[in-house]
Amino acid sequence: MVSTIYKFYYKNGLQFDFPNNQRLLIDGKSSKVPLNAQTIVTHAHSDHFTFMYSTPNTRATQETIDLFLCQKKPSGSIKFEPVNFNEKVEFLSSLDDLDIRLIPSGHILGSASVLISYKSKNILFTSDIGGKGQLTVKDSMKVPKADILIIEATFGSPELSFPSREEISMDILKWSADVVKEKRNVVFFAGKIGSAQELIKMYNNLTNLRVITHGEVTPVSEVYQKHGIKLEFFDSKSEEGREILRDGEAIVIQPRGKKMVPFFIKEHVNCRSAIVTGMASRFQYKDFDAAFPLSSHANYAELVDYINTVSPEIIFTMYGLEKKLANAITNELKIEAIPLREKKEEPNIQQTTKISYVKKEKSLTRDQQDFNQKKDLPLKKDSKKVTTLDDFFSKE
């Protein structure tokens, strides 16, 4: 009889239950955190930091803490514990063999994946991971080997592969050059943390055009500056910013979720608008003059590349298109992949550990040709089959 070493599941965040009643909760979706839980926040997008409002001693990178505080002021005195990349996170100390580290995920400033080593097995939770060639990620993405991979699936479908970042950037610049020639302002609706700063940096690097930031984009961009990312921009409400808007030929960056037309567009209607989102690779956006698939997330081809580098033996998918990604991984990469769905009730041990998987035939490589050849390999179901997660941890 093999004993359960630990279990993990997705309920109000990603939870790991270790022996001795020790619990780790990552990116909780509720401000109510179990008393015995230690908490980590991977990055400063609002769908990941809910419990930072209420939980003392949440671990996160200093960049994530600063980006959180520039958006929200928690009531009372909440203490955060900054953690450097690649350093051991000191908690759950009663477990000798446990090693938890944050590693750069290349998604936005300070964003982290979580690498957990316990009883000589590695489990990697990617959280949100970035694509190639980002301009404003200070610490480039690190991709370690792991036995178990829990990967995000925001763009986890083969039809969501975008052109390269360089191609998208050139499309954006060409389109905005035409708008500016007409003495109009260009207004981008972009994610306020990540894509907004990418756009500022791109215009700073490649043009002389002046960038105006919406009141919600300005403080975020200032945190990027504080952490060493050089960005030049003017706040839309500053005197200088208003003057530039009146002149025309400005690049305006505002949060994507904002439906209200801000004052500076009302005052300066001479503009063309574009939305910036990875979904622009798949959908048309009627309310905008243009749409560009620039994203802070890895696209499908980049997710496949990431998986090949990690070379895991079993994969769990979560966030977004988790079912589609799991199917694609199982069919194309011949690695068993299971969607990790949010559970209403806390699962019991039997539910969480009875997970079958098939050991892959050989190590995968980044070589695309090799990947294509694997499409034709049959899924092998024979003596290598492991029936439970306990078996997985106990095997050599």
Q: β-strands 234-235, 250-255: how paired?
A: unpaired
Binding part of the chain for Zn ion, among 64-72, 120-128, 206-214, 246-254 by CB under 5 A, reads 120-128
Given a contact cutoff of 8 angstroms between Cβ atoms, the answer to whether 149 and 264 are in contact is no
Min dist. Cβ of residue 192 to Zn ion (A): 12
Quickly list DSSP for 333-391. I---EEE-PBPSSPPPHHHHH---B---SS---S-HHHHHHHTTSPPP-STT-B-SHHH
Query: With contacts defined by CB under 5 A, how many residues of the chain interact with Zn ion?
Result: 2
Cβ nearer to Zn ion, comparing 191 with 241: 191
The DSSP secondary-structure symbol of 210 reads: E
- Which residue of 45, 101, 121, 214 would you call a contact of Zn ion, by CB under 5 A? 45
Cβ nearer to Zn ion, comparing 140 with 365: 140
Interatomic CA distance for residues 245 and 210, integer angstroms: 9
Min dist. Cβ of residue 112 to Zn ion (A): 11
Q: Which residues, numbered 162-181, are part of the site for Zn ion (CB under 5 A)?
A: none
Asked if 128 interacts with Zn ion (CB under 5 A), we say yes
The DSSP secondary-structure symbol of 396 reads: -
The DSSP secondary-structure symbol of 88 reads: B
- Distances from the Cα of 138 to the Cαs of 130, 189, 230, 254, in angstroms? 12, 23, 11, 22
Cβ nearer to Zn ion, comparing 89 with 193: 193
Min dist. Cβ of residue 107 to Zn ion (A): 5
Min dist. Cβ of residue 297 to Zn ion (A): 7
Min dist. Cβ of residue 45 to Zn ion (A): 4
Cβ nearer to Zn ion, comparing 47 with 346: 47
Min dist. Cβ of residue 111 to Zn ion (A): 7
Binding mask 3-42 for Zn ion (x = CB under 5 A): ----------------------------------------
Cβ nearer to Zn ion, comparing 92 with 114: 114
The two three-digit tokens of residue 253, written as one number: 């960056």
Instruction: Report the first-to-last Cα separation within the chain, whole angstroms.
Output: 16
* Identity of the amino acid at 157: S
Q: Which residues bind Zn ion (CB under 5 A)?
A: 45, 128
